[in-house]
Every structure is written in structure tokens, then in C-alpha cells.
Structure 1
Amino acid sequence: MPITRLEPHDDYLRVHFTPGEGPRHADFHWFWLRHNSELDRHPLTNERIVCSSELPLDPQPKAVRIGEGADSLDIDWGDRADGKVSRYASTWLQAHAYAAEREPAPPPPSDPATITVDSHTLDEPLGPRIRSTLARTGLLVVRGFGLDTEAIIQTLEREGLSVIGTHFGRIEDLRTDNTTNQNTDQLGYTDSAIQLHTDQPFLERPPRYQLLHSQQPAETGGENFVVDALAAANHLAELDRPAFELLRTVPVTFHRKQKSFEKVLVSPILDFSAPGGFRIRYSYFTLAPYRRPFAEMEAWYRAYNRFAKLVRDERHQYRFLLREGDFLIYDNWRMLHARTSFTGARWVRGVYFDSAPLAA
């Protein structure tokens, strides 16, 4: 069947065919296509003359197009002095389609407009909106609420959420000149960038939700970004099942050591059977050195790095700046959060909450 459309992705190419007896579409890894190029065959015997080990594992094609007559796929790999391209007949692609009609889980969403409301124009009570949105998307940004953190706490308490005190105290004043909290010897009280993580992964039951309430934005920087780790995990399972299984089954050690506080917990990064539902523990700055058998260490690093690359891709992140009076609330069991470095007297108040599981 003729090719109707090409859909390039980072790791693979989706080829769409004219509806008929064969598949409507099929996915092919770039490396598989490069390995099966007819350009790497002997002109007389048509035998392979290049082993897959001689090719780069992450080929980046220079150009991809539908061939004349729509009966072939043409790829210019950009690595041939003679300028020749690889040509794959549509019938050949259909005959060797190892991922026909594949429907993968989508990557994490990234449109901040879908998780943002203006408190001045909201046409429903704020508390129920927070509860329903947390259940659906895992986070909510509220614009223009004002500076009264206790008023937010009261709103959430009416919805069944209770403040959870931690080794920092009841409310954290996240600012570089903090004098109100305990155990401020950690990155949140500096002006450094903090990459994606979950909070308190070293606790048996980390706080379920966190509120971040902006009192004073930074002079420059200090943007927030958040990633749906549940969506990322499901997406990884469709892209790289061995990596997903390692993250789901291999226990790692989280170790928080401060001047006046220390806690250790051993757990897999992805936990789909935790009480209350899915839970991710992910914190590069509290991970202890890995202890894997020698023959398994490289595979573990590849799996972890594959996931890290996925969530650190800005295309998979909600990115926004909290202005004075804005707040963010997110599900700490599901979402990863981070901030960029900043200058100036940035001040954000942090409060942890917990409750019974939210209804969908």
C-alpha cells in the first residue's frame, strides 16, 4: 500500500499507509532502519557487508521523505560522500513491520494553560477545584490569590487535607536568608537551580501534596517546572520495557544527611503497588551510591538515565513563573518538580499536606 504520511519521533519513525489489507501504520526504530539499508549490501551478492556493531546506536537522519509515487520511504543519513539515500519499498516495510498498529502511551503533558486558574475569575469554589484537578492532572497553579498562606491552608483543610509537619517545621520559608526553620542546610534554601525530584523520598510515607506559595519573586530566574512522572513511567514502558522493569523492581537507597537530621530508606524508584496508588521516589541529591552486581551496574545506569532524559526534556514539562500571590499545589507521589537558579530575594512558602486518596 502507498505511504501517506511520515511521523518522525526522537527514537523512531511512524509510517502511515493507505488503508487496505495491511496495517494503517507501523513504527520503526531509526537504528533498525539504518541497519537494514540496502546501501550496506554487496552490489553483486546483495549480502550484508556492515555489522550493526559498526553503526552508531543513535543515528540522526539528515532528511526523511516519501519517495516518488508514494511507494517508498527515502532517508538521507547524511553520512555518505556520494549523497546516496536509503530507499525502503512500502511493501517491504509492511512485510517487516515488527510494530504494526502500535499505540504507545503519550509522553507527559506540558501545556501550563491546562493546569492554571485565575482566582479572580474562577466560577466555582476554589477548594473543590483543587481537589478535582489534583485527582485528574496531579497539580494546579492558582494565580492572584494573595499573600495569606493560612487562608490557603484553611481552604485545603475544608477539603480534607491536613498539614504535615516535617523536620523543616510546619511551614517552610524557602529563602536564602531564612531564620525561621530548622534544618536549612539543603538546596531549597539557596539560590541554586534544583533539578527534578520528589520531596522526602527517604520517608516511608512521604507527604502526599505540597503547596508552594510565592511571597516575593526573584529579580531574575526562579521559574518552576513540573513533570507528570506517572505519564513518563507509562511512556517509558512503551519505549523501553527493560528500563521500566529495572526502575520498577531494583531497590535503591535514599539517604538524607544534614547537621541535625538523618534518614535512610530503601525502595524502587517506581512503585505501582504502594498503599494509596502509584508512588515515585526520585531525588538525585539524596541517592546513596548504587550497590548493584558488577554485571548489572551498566544496565541500571542506562535505565535510570533513559528515564532522566525523558523527564528532563522540556517538551515534557509544565514550565511557569510564580508571581507574587500565586501558588502551586501538586501531588508529591506522582509529580516531579524543580526550579531554575535565581538572583534576588526570592521567597516561597512551602507546606506539606496529606489526606485519604482522592476520588477520580
Structure 2
Amino acid sequence: MSHTFKDLVARHGYAFVREHCPGTDTIAVANSIGQSVEPWKGGAVQDLVPRSSSTPNTYSGIYGLSHFPFHTDLAHWRFPPRYLLLRCVNGYADIPTLLLDGEAIIEAVTLDILTRAIFKPRRPRQGRVQLMRLYESGSDGYCFRWDEVFLQPSSRIGDIASQRIHEQFKKCNPLSIALERSGDTLLIDNWRMLHARSPIPAGREDRKIQRVYLENLH
């Protein structure tokens, strides 16, 4: 099954398997698919539960139960996690995860602009403000990053890239994938795909999705 995930992600940028190994620990499922990473101490598995208010400078603190905008997870890090796995504990059909293929955005905005667009984190990380590009290529392929909350343009080309990306968002028809049954598992290439969360309707505050970051796939 791990090869199925790997093949689908390589082809489409994501893989979705319904009711995958229900009852199995999320970290065990993640490690059967790839090599999990702990982005911060005690954070190998993160429980994503809707909150009307939360810590400032977090998506829940900013948007509450409203729609989360399209983004790359941890886009303000020098190297964002390569993959993220989302696994349903308690879900609903009317709260889909939305996906946009970065390849379509890259084609529309153009590599020339994206490779020259300089951005900076909204706040210093570990006491430093590190400039970074929206698109970078390397031995493992390319990394396309985006986050309108935690990344800010730091050049004229950055302003242009930001404007064109927002224009492209208005034209895109995102994929809609509902994690609704226990074990429903969505694996996303975080260097290619952008994802967003739908608004949380009243009475759905007990939704619970678990997230694990992976650095590679088996």
C-alpha cells in the first residue's frame, strides 16, 4: 500500500485512501508510508481540532472557524516539510480539505517571476529573518511555497508574484476531498500542492484530524 501512496503522490501531488487501516495509530500508518519527522518537541502527531479562538499568530487564532486560505505548511521555514499526512479521527462530509496543484499556478505566473520573487517571514524565526524564494529547485525536485499570512513580499518582483498568484486563485477550481470516515487518509506533497480548510459549520466543532509530517516516502 505504501507504493500506492508514493506512486499516486508522484503522479498527482496527493493520494487519498478511504478508511485506510482504521483503528491503527496514525504514527504507525505514517511510518508505514514514509519517514516521519518531529517538527517540534512532542509534535510527531498533531491533533487538528477547530477552535473559535486560539493562540495569536496561528491560523486558528486568525481565522477561527472560518475558511483557512490556501497555503504551504510551514512555508516560512527554510525547508518546509516535504509531505504531510492528514488522517481522520472524527470527520464530516461538509468540511472538505481543498487542494490546488502548484504546477498550474507555476505555469500561469511563470517560473521567471517565481524564481526571482523574494519573500521574508512575517516574524523572525530563531532570532533571524531569512529571505527566500517562492520557487526553488534542488536534487529532490522543486519546492513551491506560499502563505499569505506568514510570508510577505520583500522585492518588487515579490509584489508582482503575490498579485498574480491571488489572481490565479480566482480562476482555479480546487479539488475537494472530505475526510469523513475513521481512517480516511490524505497524503499531500507539500512542495507542490497548496491546501486549505473549509469553514466549520455550527455543530461540527468536534471534528478531529491528525497530522504527521514526512521527509520521504518508502
Q: Does 1:215 align with 2:89?
A: yes
Shift of 1:339: 1.0
Q: Aligned equivalents of 1:262 and 1:324: distance in 2?
A: 42
Matched with 1:351 is 212
Matched with 1:340 is 198
Shift of 1:131: 0.9
Give the conservation status (yes or no) of the 8 Å contact 2:118–2:158.
Answer: no
Matched with 1:155 is 32
Shift of 1:184: 9.0
Matched with 1:203 is 77
Q: Aligned equivalents of 1:251 and 1:195: distance in 2?
A: 21
1:1-27 Cα distance to aligned partner (Å, 9 max, x none): xxxxxxxxxxxxxxxxxxxxxxxxxxx
1:197-225 Cα distance to aligned partner (Å, 9 max, x none): 0011222221110001111125x842211
Q: Which structure would you say has the larger Rg? A: 1
1:149-208 Cα distance to aligned partner (Å, 9 max, x none): 13412421xxxx21111137110000146xxxxx89622584231111001122222111
Gaps of at least 5 residues in structure 1 are: 1-125, 178-182, 238-243
Change (3 A) 1:263 1:136: farther
Q: Does 1:131 align with 2:6?
A: yes
Shift of 1:354: 0.6
Give the conservation status (yes or no) of the 8 Å contact 1:255–1:265.
Answer: no
Q: Aligned equivalents of 2:71 and 2:140: distance in 1?
A: 20
Identity over aligned pairs, percent: 22
Query: Which among 267, 276, 281 is matched to residue 145 of structure 2?
Result: 281
Change (3 A) 1:282 1:222: same
* Matched residue SS, 1:205: coil
Give the conservation status (yes or no) of the 8 Å contact 1:202–1:256.
Answer: no
Change (3 A) 1:128 1:170: same
Give the conservation status (yes or no) of the 8 Å contact 2:50–2:200.
Answer: no
Q: Aligned equivalents of 2:209 and 2:56: distance in 1?
A: 14
Query: Which among 175, 181, 185 is matched to residue 318 of structure 1?
Result: 175
Q: Aligned equivalents of 1:245 and 1:310: distance in 2?
A: 16
Give the conservation status (yes or no) of the 8 Å contact 2:82–2:191.
Answer: yes
Give the conservation status (yes or no) of the 8 Å contact 1:202–1:264.
Answer: no
> Aligned Cα RMSD in Å?
2.8
* Matched residue SS, 2:159: helix
Query: Which among 108, 119, 123 is matched to residue 252 of structure 1?
Result: 119
Give the conservation status (yes or no) of the 8 Å contact 2:73–2:190.
Answer: yes
Alignment of 1:1-360 (within 5 A): 126-145=1-20, 146-148=22-24, 149-156=26-33, 161-167=34-40, 169-176=43-50, 186-188=58-60, 190-218=64-92, 221-237=94-110, 244-255=111-122, 264-271=129-136, 273-288=137-152, 290-292=153-155, 296=156, 300-315=158-173, 317-325=174-182, 326-343=184-201, 344=204, 345-355=206-216
Change (3 A) 1:222 1:134: same
Gaps of at least 5 residues in structure 2 are: none
Query: Which letter does structure 2 place at the counterpart of 1:224?
Result: T
1:270-299 Cα distance to aligned partner (Å, 9 max, x none): 22x2341111110111024x343xxx4xx6
